[in-house]
Structure 1
Amino acid sequence: MKAWELEKLGGALRLTDRPIPEARPGSVVVRMEASSLMSYMKSYVDGKLPIYHAPNKPFIPGGNGVGIVHAVGPDVWHLKPGQRVIVSSHMVAQENVSEPGQFLLGVTALGAVAEIMQRDWSDGTLAEYALLPATTVTPIEGLDDRDAANLATSMRYIVPYGGLLRGHLAAGETLVVSGATGAYGTAAVLLGLAMGAGRVVAVGRNGDALDAIASAGGVRVATVQATGDIAIDTARIREAAGGGADLAFDIVGAATSSNMTMAALRSLRREGRLVLMGSMTAPLPISYMELMFNGWEITGNFMYPRNAYRRLFDLVRSGQLELDAIRAITLPLRELPQGMQMATEAGSFECVVMLHSTEQTGA
């Protein structure tokens, strides 16, 4: 098979020939149809993201995609060859312990147990066939009319979906999305609508991107262009929210200032909830008395539960979530370097997808 092999983060990336992997206990081999690229894939490959930890040997990167089960190993009872599946990068150890290890397949590991797991499962999805833990794939049912590229864009939704589930977003509530103009933030706005939010306030710095979100979201979406001034932004968000929000979802990427996050927190009604799922590097200066008096709940969240893809596809099958809102820009697998550059430049309503099969490609 053809596979992209990365020497190390910042090392050489080469298209190589490898044998098709054989299934081992607890695994499946998936014939990959399509893989979606992270917007920061090029920076990751170039070694410009120092917090990421890769295997200590050449490996196949890539953590998401769509494919057909080719073979199953021992101790796999439900998945069958020929099934179409969605691949998740998020793997959680299955031992019955209080804090099971977890890592992102084909991407990164954080912590001693996670690094051991990564050594056991070092390869990801940017190959014609992928050897994967059975727990990272979910059968796709009732969506036979969707092509692989369209299904692969679900990667954009699954990450913020975990945060909205953790925040217990309920139908009719008002949701604030802080960092709404980023790739995952835009998807969070669309998900909030699909989950029944009565109003979604999209907060970001890019005015043109906010206009596009408002156009796509319709009458239940209001936008606030952040100024960086906490008091001004708080007042504008609260006004757009009709007096205050029930849930704020913060997915600001690589921020060096906490001002936007603090404005989202202070836009909450009493006993409101804030879910943190971004990658801010600055401290969050929270007042003990302010937090206590308002009864606010602040929750950190990493990724999503194992059943999240099944629940996400329930929203798609019911018509509540339309995957077509985020457009797949497709390229053949052999053009991965070009795809990584395109992913860097893509807008929040675009997702670069590498096609592993002979499907027609194009923008």
Structure 2
Amino acid sequence: MKAAILKAFGSPLVVESLPDPVLGTGEIVVDVVAAGVLPYAKEVFSGERNYLLTLPVAPGAGAIGRVRALGPDSTRLAVGDWVTCDPTVRARDDALTPDITLQGLSARGEGGLRLQKHFHHGSFAEQMLVPTENVFSLGPIDPEEAGRWCTLNLLLVPYGGLLAANLKAGETLVISGATGNFGSAGVAVALAMGAGCVVCPGRNEAMLEELRRRFDSRVRTLTLTGDEAEDRQRMKQAAPGPIDCVLDLLPPSAPAKAVRAAVMAVREYGRVVLMGGVGMLGGDDLALPYPWIMRNCITIIGQWMYPPEASIRLIKLVRAGLLDLRNWEVTEFDLDDANEAVDQAAAGSGPFKRTVLRP
């Protein structure tokens, strides 16, 4: 099969042949039709993000494709079915604390690296080997829309945070980082889940206006000043009432005080979910006052990715018409143009824009 391969950090992808995947028990081989390119893929491939990724590798996290071959433990899928491939691969020998690798992207610790040795190559290839439990039926789709369905893997990240927060219909939510790629996707997901109000702080005035334009009056935006106390007060004023939940999706480049401004706007007995990258590249840690957490009975949850069943639930939101994938503009590239796709994703893929490879 043909694949785009990263041989060394900082070097371009090279398109060449790899052996076809060999099917085993508990696995499915998928013909990749469309693979999303992350906006920060260039930072990963350059080594800037210091992700645990064993080279050489065909990168690419998640895909839309069709089933080529099934293992004996698959009872519902059939060859030719349209599926989405979840890149969050979990080890099967510890259900409480499974080691995790993000197929084609990164790993969590030594156990994740061991898992990565087997489920090694990602979706920048004509075929990929995926654990059975990571393949989810989409039902019939228009092949021309496969690239748009790649948006599922973007939406899954904030969806995982909102599930961890146990967001309830009618609640008021602050999304810290709402003008970013994952944050804006989180706004769409929260509204689909029935949030009563989503407060969107940010500095990008054009993107704040875009959020207001795309969604209904349940979205309330505000411009951040950089002053922690003032920004916190502005978030509270923008909300129609007490803030029930805060979801942080700010990137590694954001200052810790921006996270803290949003987190401490939550009401007594409120919930906070941390999913962003603040502190990953150095800088101040998130310093939250112990008395404030304890006396206000604040629940703080760290969430990396999402639970296994999230893909099924998210597909249902799309099929029900609650979540419209047409909100995202898709730019597609052939596999031979993988490097151009990575450059496009870095320069031109912002909120509501997706870059996709079509192997």
Shorter chain as denominator, the TM-score bin is over 0.9
Q: Is the 8 A contact 2:175 2:198 kept in 1?
A: yes
**Partner of residue 21, structure 2:** 21
137 and 8 in structure 1: CA distance in 2 versus 1, 3 angstrom threshold: farther
Q: Is the 8 A contact 2:99 2:108 kept in 1?
A: no
Matches within 5 A, 1:331-346: 331-345=333-347, 346=349
Letter in 2 for 1:28: I
Distance 1:192 1:133 in 2: 29
Deviation per residue, 1:176-197 (Å, 9 max, x gap): 0000111000000111111101
Matches within 5 A, 1:205-244: 205-244=203-242
Deviation per residue, 1:25-79 (Å, 9 max, x gap): 21111111000011101111122212x0111x41111111100000123443333
**Partner of residue 38, structure 1:** 38
Distance 1:253 1:47 in 2: 17
**Partner of residue 328, structure 1:** 330
**Partner of residue 2, structure 1:** 2
Query: How far 1:97 sits from its partner (Å)?
Result: 4.1
Q: Is the 8 A contact 1:142 1:317 kept in 2?
A: no
315 and 275 in structure 1: CA distance in 2 versus 1, 3 angstrom threshold: same
2:176 equivalent to 1:178: yes
What CA RMSD, in Å, does the superposition of the two structures yield over aligned residues?
1.5
Please identify, of 28-37 and 241-250, the stretch whose mean Cα deviation from structure 2 is larger: 241-250
Percent identical: 35
**Partner of residue 147, structure 1:** 145
**Partner of residue 316, structure 1:** 318
**Partner of residue 354, structure 1:** 357
Q: Is the 8 A contact 1:143 1:317 kept in 2?
A: no
Query: How far 1:295 sits from its partner (Å)?
Result: 1.4
TM-score normalised per structure 1:
0.94
Q: Is the 8 A contact 2:31 2:127 kept in 1?
A: yes
Letter in 2 for 1:349: F
Letter in 2 for 1:337: N
Match among 165, 182, 205 for residue 163 of structure 2: 165
**Partner of residue 307, structure 1:** 309
Distance 1:2 1:164 in 2: 37
Query: How far 1:143 sits from its partner (Å)?
Result: 4.8
Q: Give the secondary-structure state (helix, strand or coil) at the position aligned to 1:340.
A: helix
Q: Is the 8 A contact 2:58 2:124 kept in 1?
A: yes
Letter in 2 for 1:3: A
**Partner of residue 121, structure 2:** 123
Distance 1:241 1:216 in 2: 19
Query: How far 1:244 sits from its partner (Å)?
Result: 2.7
Distance 1:184 1:161 in 2: 10
Query: How far 1:322 sits from its partner (Å)?
Result: 0.4
Q: Give the secondary-structure state (helix, strand or coil) at the position aligned to 1:223.
A: strand
Letter in 1 for 2:212: A
Distance 1:97 1:192 in 2: 28
Unaligned runs of 5+ in 1: 357-363
Q: Is the 8 A contact 2:84 2:136 kept in 1?
A: yes
Q: Give the secondary-structure state (helix, strand or coil) at the position aligned to 1:271.
A: coil
Letter in 2 for 1:289: P
Q: Give the secondary-structure state (helix, strand or coil) at the position aligned to 1:219.
A: coil
Q: Is the 8 A contact 1:25 1:76 kept in 2?
A: no
Distance 2:118 2:334 in 1: 29
Q: Is the 8 A contact 1:8 1:54 kept in 2?
A: no
110 and 228 in structure 1: CA distance in 2 versus 1, 3 angstrom threshold: same
**Partner of residue 132, structure 1:** 130
Distance 1:314 1:144 in 2: 17
Distance 2:63 2:95 in 1: 29
Distance 2:86 2:144 in 1: 18
Q: Is the 8 A contact 2:202 2:208 kept in 1?
A: yes
Letter in 1 for 2:137: P
Q: Give the secondary-structure state (helix, strand or coil) at the position aligned to 1:10.
A: coil
Letter in 1 for 2:354: C
2:287 equivalent to 1:285: yes
Letter in 1 for 2:16: T
**Partner of residue 360, structure 1:** none
Letter in 1 for 2:17: D
Q: Is the 8 A contact 1:176 1:248 kept in 2?
A: yes
**Partner of residue 54, structure 1:** 53
**Partner of residue 361, structure 1:** none
Distance 1:98 1:154 in 2: 26
**Partner of residue 72, structure 1:** 70
Distance 1:74 1:179 in 2: 43
Deviation per residue, 1:2-47 (Å, 9 max, x gap): 1111113334521002232221221111111000011101111122
Q: Is the 8 A contact 2:82 2:141 kept in 1?
A: no
Distance 1:332 1:266 in 2: 46
Query: How far 1:146 sits from its partner (Å)?
Result: 7.2
Match among 83, 92, 95 for residue 94 of structure 1: 92
Q: Give the secondary-structure state (helix, strand or coil) at the position aligned to 1:237.
A: helix
Q: Is the 8 A contact 1:248 1:275 kept in 2?
A: yes
Q: Is the 8 A contact 2:13 2:338 kept in 1?
A: no
Deviation per residue, 1:274-329 (Å, 9 max, x gap): 10000000311111111112111111001011111110011111111101111111
TM-score normalised per structure 2:
0.95
2:274 equivalent to 1:276: yes
